[in-house]
Amino acid sequence: MTGGVQSVCEVVEGGLQTSTTWERYQLRCEIDRARKEIAELVLSARQRSSVEWALAGAAAHATSARADTGRVATLLARAVELLKDAGAFAAAGAGLVVALRRAAALLGPHGATVVALI
């Protein structure tokens, strides 16, 4: 799944989309970067499944026809809470924090909650 999204992100980064679409795909790319970083972390199967569910939902909402930044922020916040509960930020590289902060910034005011949790 990530491979398909990655190629879409590369096309968008090439400047072939409009501004609104660009922002949605940029958000999707940051969420996918966070997912790649999380794939390297040691998490239980339950923790991994829960975090992946939240991030997959956020990614899907980010690029849907009716993108809801509030819903994306809620799902990202849930993923961050799960990662904190698992102690994953201590083991994570800076890439995870950077990707999550960039995604939150793209959400505008809704992203403030996510940033506060990180």
Q: Which residue range forms the structural domain that includes residue 32?
A: 2-117
Provide the domain count of the chain. 1
| Residue 7 pLDDT grade (very low, low, confident, very high; cuts 50, 70, 90) | very low
Average pLDDT, the chain: 84
Report how far residue 70's alpha carbon sits from residue 41's, in angstroms, rounded to the nearest whole number: 27
CB contact at 8 A, 61 and 75: yes
Q: Which residue has the higher pLDDT, 2 or 103?
A: 103
pLDDT of 89 strictly over 70: yes
What is the pLDDT, as a whole number, of residue 19?
A: 60
CB contact at 8 A, 72 and 80: no
What is the pLDDT, as a whole number, of residue 98?
A: 94
